[in-house]
């Protein structure tokens, strides 16, 4: 591993990421999970919700490796994908219209300034009406895999939801084992705006936004007949994400797109003290 590593700190709707150009092996370690957990640790290092490594690809403009802040590998991350696309465009790695490989499949992206629109891999069919017993209370939820698994629960008052504790119980419930699930809580405010809060697997906490979770929520609402494309969801950061799709009936969707910001907060050089502790 190089003694110093250049990186960008980026934010997508409040999800923050460390993004590195690893096409020439800047990060050469057998324990990438450990490295990710170290540099993503807040107050001890750079701090982020995830680490994105941009690498060479034979079949696309680039491929990525994505790690959650706990060091676990993530198949897909909607907000991270937008940041990866803008970084690749800024660094001359890819044109403004690009494709890149993820563990969830090939992603297409269009960069327009600090706005990025990505085409997601086709989600699994949305399943509604599932029930779950949590500490003696029966909860109803929908489920869809948008590259990663998501449970979606519609609630009356989003501000009153204990996202961390309830989200953790659902995330670790036997029904979702062994992989676990992300958990999204959604509600419609008095102005008719849908809001979302998410407990993210791998971060093991509530985050300010979740791209794949916003897609899951939008598709669940569409399956219920409550929304048509595009669906706009206001995240905990206050930033709104837009989800576009075509419905094929029975909870099936394709041509799914996620659009939102991808902002460069700063670019810097990381010293070994950032991971060697």
- Catalytically annotated residues: 77, 210
- 3-state SS track over the chain: CCCCEEEEEEEECCEEEEEEECCCCCCCCCCHHHHHHHHCCCCCCCCCCEEEEEECCCCCCEEEEEEECCCCECCCCHHHHHHHHHHHHHCCCCCCEEEEEECCEEEEEEEECCEEEEECCCCCCCEEEEEEEECCEEEEEEEEECCCEEEEEECCCHHHCCHHHHHHHHHCCHHHCCCCCEEEEEEECCCCCEEEEEEECCCCEEECCCHHHHHHHHHHHHHCCCCCCCEEEECCCCCEEEEEEEEEECCEEEEEEEEEECEEEEEEEECHHHCCC
Quick check: 183 and 198 in contact, CB under 8 A? yes
Burial group, residue 70, by CB count within 10 angstroms (0-12, 13-18, 19+): middle
User: How far is the C-alpha of 14 from the C-alpha of 195, rounded, in Å?
Assistant: 14
């Amino acid at each position: 591993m190089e003694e110093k590593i250049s990186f960008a700190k980026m934010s997508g709707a409040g999800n923050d990421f460390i993004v590195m150009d690893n096409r020439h092996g800047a990060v050469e370690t057998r324990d990438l999970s450990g490295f990710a957990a170290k540099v993503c640790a807040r107050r001890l290092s750079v701090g982020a919700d995830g680490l994105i490594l941009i690498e060479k690809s034979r079949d696309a403009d680039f491929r990525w490796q994505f790690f959650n802040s706990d060091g676990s590998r993530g198949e897909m991350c909607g907000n991270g994908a937008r940041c990866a696309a803008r970084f690749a465009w800024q660094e001359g790695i890819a044109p403004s219209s690009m494709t890149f490989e993820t563990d969830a499949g090939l992603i297409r992206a269009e960069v327009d300034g600090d706005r990025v629109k990505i085409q997601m891999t086709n989600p699994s069919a949305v399943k509604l009406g599932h029930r779950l017993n949590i500490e003696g209370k029966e909860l109803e939820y929908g489920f869809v895999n948008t590259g990663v698994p998501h449970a979606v629960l519609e609630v009356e008052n989003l501000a009153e939801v204990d996202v961390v504790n309830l989200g953790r119980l659902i995330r670790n419930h036997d029904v979702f084992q062994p992989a676990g699930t992300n958990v999204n809580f959604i509600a419609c405010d008095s102005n008719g705006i849908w809001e979302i809060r998410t407990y993210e697997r791998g971060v093991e906490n509530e985050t300010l936004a979740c791209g794949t979770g916003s897609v899951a929520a939008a598709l669940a609402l569409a399956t219920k007949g409550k929304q048509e494309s595009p669906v706009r969801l206001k995240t905990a950061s206050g930033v709104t994400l837009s989800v576009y799709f075509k419905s094929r009936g029975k909870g099936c969707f394709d041509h799914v797109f996620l659009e939102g910001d991808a902002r460069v907060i700063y670019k810097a050089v990381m010293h070994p003290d950032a991971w060697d502790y």
